[in-house]
Amino acid sequence: MSMMPNAQRFIAQPKSPLEGVPVAAWGRFIAALEVQPVNARSPSGGLGAYDIRPRRLVELGYASELTSKRTSTGRQVQVCEFVLPWTQSKFLADPVAQFAAVSKSILLYHRAIVSGELKKPKGCSVAGALAILQVGGRGALESWPNLFTDTQALYDACKGAF
């Protein structure tokens, strides 16, 4: 698995934020989650290297005022307003903030799985379930194993990390 430059900066962190997940496994997982350039916005409206969706940014406290808009291609996507001191421009220019946001997101999803608040489907690895949640939220996890092509690709890239 090849790592994108941003992920390579962070895999040397002292430990994984997930209890019981070794640093090397966390590094493989986070590298697989890095799917686009730091300053990118995906066709689905996801922001930054980890394609963090506006709904999740609101849930994490980075943004508020979630709304939908139609893109120039006719696709309906969600958008958000960032909460100060953040702006979309600042967030897209800051790989450390993006890494912190995705780490917090994964940690919260992991706690929800461990506590039983979220049910990991049979045959789905923990890393795979976390990848599905990160890209598509709870609805995507509930759709397992019927995933969109991009969600399936991310699941496949992450499922063996731990």
CB of 78 within 8 A of CB of 65? Answer: no
pLDDT in tens, 80-126: 999 999 999 999 999 999 999 999 999 999 999 999 999 999 999 99
- Confidence band (pLDDT; 50, 70, 90) for 63? very high
Q: Give yes or no for a cis peptide into 145 (omega within 30° of 0).
A: yes
Whether 132 has a pLDDT exceeding 70, the answer reads yes
> What's the domain range around 120?
5-158
- Confidence band (pLDDT; 50, 70, 90) for 8? low
d(CA 86, CA 149): 32
Would you state the pLDDT for residue 2? Answer: 42
Q: How confident is the prediction for the chain on average, in pLDDT?
A: 92
Lookup: tokens for 65:
């005022």
What single-letter DSSP state applies at residue 47? B
Q: What is the pTM of this model?
A: 0.89
At 46 the three-state DSSP class reads: coil
For the chain, what is the domain count? 1
Would you state the pLDDT for residue 99? Answer: 94
